[in-house]
Amino acid sequence: MLNFGYQAALHLFVHLVALIVTWWAIQSFKLDLFLRNPKGAKAKVLLIFLTIAISYLVAKFFLDYLNWSMNLPQIYG
């Protein structure tokens, strides 16, 4: 297992990359089909919250997968 400093840096990096990729991907989504005022402040806040929520789930998946794959050799001793 990595020490806490490297692990924290890795978690920050993965979360930032997931946030950037999610923001980039969600920009192609047509929000004007679902919102009354897609250019308003509420729509922008909703877009930010959606980006944070989705990027958290994506980063959590990759970090859990990394953790599980690092713990897998413990099965054999």
Predicted pLDDT at 2: 56
pLDDT tens-digit series, residues 17-44? 999 999 999 999 888 888 899 889 999 9
The Cα 65–Cα 42 span in angstroms is 35
Read off the pTM. 0.84
- Domain spans in the chain, listed from the N-terminal domain onward: 4-76
pLDDT tens-digit series, residues 53-68? 999 999 999 999 999 9
